[in-house]
Structure 1
Amino acid sequence: MNYSQIESFLTIIRLGSLSKAAEQLYVSQSTISQRLHSIEKEYEVVLLNREKGVKSVTLTHEGERFYQLALRFEALYLETKNLKSTSGEATISIGAVDSVHNYVLKDIYSAVFRQIPDVRLAIHTHQSNEIYYLIDQNSIDIGFSLQDRILKNVKVQKLFEEQMVMIQKKKIESTTDEIDNSVLSPKQQLFINWGMDYQIWHEKHWGPTTNTFLQIDTAKMLRDFLEEDGMWAIVPVSIARDFHKQGLIDVFTLTDPPPSRSCFQVEKEGINSRVEQVSELILKSKPKIDKIVRPWETLV
Structure 2
Amino acid sequence: MNYGQIESFLSIIRLGSLSKAAEQLYVSQSTISQRLYSIEKEYDVVLLNREKGVKSVTLTNEGERFYQIALKFEALYSETKNLKATSGEVTISIGAVDSVHNYILKNIYSKIFHEISGLRLAIHTYQSNEIYYLIDQNNIDIGFSLQDRILKNVKVQKLFEEQMVMIKKKKEGLFEFEMDNSLLNPKHQLYINWGMDYQVWHEKHWGPTNNTFIQIDTAKMLGDFLEEEMWAIVPVSIARDFYAKGQIDVFLLNDPPPSRSCFQVEKGEVNNRIRQVSELIQRSKSEIEELVRPWDSKNH
TM-score (norm 1): 0.74
Structure 1 equivalent of residue 228 of structure 2: 229
1:97 match: 97
CA distance in 1, matches of 2:127, 2:159: 17
Give the corresponding residue for 2:293.
290
Match of 2:80 in 1: 77
Shift in alpha-carbon separation, 1:238–1:137, aligned structure 2, 3 A:
same
Q: What is the CA–CA distance in structure 1 between the aligned matches of 2:233 and 2:122, rounded to whole Å?
A: 30
Aligned partner of 1:38 in structure 2 is none
Distance in 2 separating the partners of 1:60 and 1:252: 46
Q: Give the 3-state SS of the residue equivalent to 1:60 in structure 2.
A: helix
2 CA distance for matches of 1:148 and 1:265? 9
Query: Which amino acid letter does the alignment assign opposite residue 241 of structure 2?
Result: D
Deviations 1:202-230 (A, max 9, x none): 1111112222221111000111110x221
Task: Map 1:213-228 onto structure 2 (within 5 A).
Answer: 213-226=213-226, 228=227
2:246 is aligned to: 247
C-alpha separation between the residues in 2 aligned to 1:253 and 1:123? Answer: 33
The answer on whether the counterparts of 1:192 and 1:218 sit within 8 Å (CA) in structure 2 is: yes
Whether the 8 Å CA contact 1:97–1:145 is kept in 2: the answer is yes
Structure 1 consecutive aligned stretches of length 4 or more whose deviation exceeds 2 Å = 57-83
Tell me which residue corresponds to 1:139: 139
Pairs aligned (count)? 242
Alpha-carbon contact 2:161-2:259 (below 8 Å) kept: yes
Counterpart Cα distance in 2 of 1:151 and 1:108: 27
Q: Distance between the aligned counterparts of 2:39 and 2:118, measured in 1?
A: 35
Q: Which residue of 2 aligns with 1:24?
A: none
CA distance in 1, matches of 2:183, 2:133: 40
> Does residue 150 in structure 1 map to residue 145 in structure 2?
no
Name 1:120's counterpart in structure 2: 120
Q: Is the 8 Å Cα contact of residues 75 and 139 (structure 2) preserved in structure 1? A: no
**What is the CA distance between 1:182 and its match in structure 2?**
0.5
Q: Write the letter of the residue equivalent to 1:273.
A: N
Shift in alpha-carbon separation, 1:150–1:74, aligned structure 2, 3 A: closer
Q: Which moved more, 1:260-269 or 1:58-67?
A: 58-67
| Aligned twin of 1:258 | 257
User: Which residue of the partner structure matches residue 26 of structure 1?
Assistant: none
Q: Any idea what the Cα deviations from partners look like across 1:64-103, whole Å, max 9, x if unmatched?
A: 79999887555333444456xx32x210010111110000
Partner of residue 278, structure 2:
279
CA RMSD of aligned residues (A): 2.6
- Please tell me whether the aligned partners of residues 253 and 293 of structure 1 are also in contact (alpha carbons under 8 angstroms): no
Change (3 A) 1:71 1:292: closer
Give 1:60's aligned residue.
35
Q: Is the 8 A contact 1:190 1:222 kept in 2?
A: yes
Q: Quick one: structure 1 residues 204 and 164, their matched pair in 2 at CA, closer, same or farther if it must change by over 3 Å?
A: same
Of stretches 63-72 and 283-292 in structure 1, the one that deviates more from structure 2 is 63-72
The CA deviation at 1:172 is: 1.5
Q: Which runs of 5+ in 2 are unaligned?
A: 5-30, 43-69
Three-state SS of the structure 2 residue aligned to 1:205 is helix
Query: In terms of Rg, which structure is larger?
Result: 1
Opposite residue 294 of structure 2, the aligned amino acid is K
Unaligned residue ranges in structure 1 (runs of 5+) = 11-56
Aligned identity (percent) is 64
Q: CA deviation at 1:260?
A: 1.1
> 2: CA distance between counterparts of 1:68 and 1:237?
32
